[in-house]
Chains A and B, each alone.
Chain A
Amino acid sequence: MRVFAELSYWQQTTLRSVGVLLAVLLPAGAFVQLFLFKLVSFMHNRLGPNEAGPKGSLQLLAEVGKSLQKEDIVPEKADRVLFKMAPYLVVASVLLVYAAVPFGPDAWFTNLDVGIFYILAVSSISVIGILIAGWASANKYSLLGGLRAAGQLIAYELPMVLAVVGVVIQAGTLNLQGIVGAQANGEIFGFGGLGNPFVLTQFIGLAVFMIAMQAELTQTPFDMPVAESELVAGYMTEYSGLRFLLFFIGEFASAGAFAAVAATLFLGGWYLPGLSLTADYMNVVGPLVLFGKMLVLGFIVFWVRFTFPRLREDQLQRFAWTVLIPISLLNILATATLKVVF
């Protein structure tokens, strides 16, 4: 990667900006096409989209083309500025999450010292976007959906943050490259053949993280904010056409983003045992490895989404505050004790 390092800062940043757009859109598109179009129809035992392109592979493009031609409608009672601002905030928050995820030894966008802390911070910007969307629509369903979403997202953000602490204790750093390195070079009770992917020692953390992730993405069983039988589409009710598509992209791009973060924290990120941690070829292989791990985690998220019924609002809050948070606090104490003792 010597060639890359010789470029000036602005040239590097331009290349990185193109890269980050690819990193956001490719996994989001893959998730929608593979899981939302194909997997769901397989699981529901019905035909999925199969007309556009060979075996329906161009369905995604058809959907985007359709949305581009829809009339842009802003309700007359809505707060126009806020109404138009909300989708920007939701999508920008996902983009900023990807900015700190490493894809290879040199293939990163920004290598922040406080990487994971930064990710947890910017991922909650989308809550503000959703609240704004719910409020600005001047619609009762939207307002209820927006408030439900805010209540749910903040309740499940805590277990997610606390689950990450266990990983930070083990790795001793907040830098995501450092966390990948710690997993690659770690050893479990003296056996270092596999490294130490934290899924083995932090499986409680991973379980809590995945449940919280399901809720942060407002996927079933935690889809109260957009419950179609109660709230039409929650905070998205008044959005149509392209602006609705932006929310939709934001939702699936953040599914990809959270899967990437979980893969980096718990599954070893872009590294696989047996590969080199520093060689140049990892800048090509690394992103593919990470993408494969993201697909595995994404599959679990959508599998749960398609098979579970929806929780009630009170069950949802009770589960976060009285089950997940105590478990993750105990997990922190147990991890810290083990770290100090061994």
Chain B
Amino acid sequence: MSEFLRSYLTVGVFFGVGVAILYSVLALGGLLRPTRPQPQKYIAYESGVDPVGFGWSQSQIRYYIFALLFVMFDVEAVFIFPWATRLEYYDVFGLVEMVIFIVVLALGLVYAWRKNVLRWI
């Protein structure tokens, strides 16, 4: 196996080790902790009063605009990183290209700003 793949295999091993350790800590707790079930313990906590209605309520649409903007900028970051590592090679050409790219993106941000979607109302 190549060095490259091996380092990602190590990452996978770390994930496995992490999950195994957490599981064994929880299992150890299972040996030590008491279990005295009472129906009141399993009611959702709403500051002491009995919960009203259903826990999974509908929430604000405003989150979706921010998620959309996030995707736009995150994809942009994917393009910027390879460019950043090779800037010395591309020199002035690369710089001008990236200025244009970022200005176009900034226009998008300014548009969203002017349309007032960045306000949390």
By DSSP majority rule, is chain A's interface helix, strand, loop, or mixed?
helix
Q: In the docked arrangement, what's the CA distance between A280 and B17, Å?
A: 28
Let me know if A242 and B85 touch, CB within 8 A: no
Q: In the docked arrangement, what's the CA distance between A335 and B112, Å?
A: 26
**Chain B residues in 8 Å Cβ range of A336:** 84, 87, 95, 98
Q: In the docked arrangement, what's the CA distance between A73 and B37, Å?
A: 9
Q: In the docked arrangement, what's the CA distance between A295 and B26, Å?
A: 29
Let me know if B70 and A155 touch, CB within 8 A: yes
**Chain B residues in 8 Å Cβ range of A140:** 44, 46, 51, 55, 57
Tell me if A130 counts as interface (CB < 8 A to partner B): no
> How many of chain B's residues touch chain A, expressed as a range?
35 or more
With a 10 A CB-CB cut-off, give which of B11, B14, B42, B73 has the most chain A CB atoms: B14
Let me know if A329 and B43 touch, CB within 8 A: no
Tell me if A35 counts as interface (CB < 8 A to partner B): no
* A contacts, CB < 8 Å to B: 9, 13, 16-17, 20-21, 67-77, 87-88, 91-92, 95-96, 99, 109-113, 117-118, 135, 137-144, 147, 150-151, 154-155, 157-158, 161-162, 165, 168-169, 172-174, 232, 237-238, 241-243, 246, 313-314, 317-318, 321-322, 325-326, 329, 332-333, 336-337, 339-340
- 20 residue pairs A–B, Cβ–Cβ below 8 Å: A67-B29, A72-B29, A72-B35, A77-B44, A77-B55, A92-B19, A96-B15, A140-B51, A150-B63, A151-B66, A155-B70, A168-B85, A174-B81, A174-B85, A242-B25, A242-B29, A326-B109, A329-B102, A332-B102, A340-B95
The 3 closest A-B pairs by CB, nearest first: A314-B120, A138-B55, A76-B42
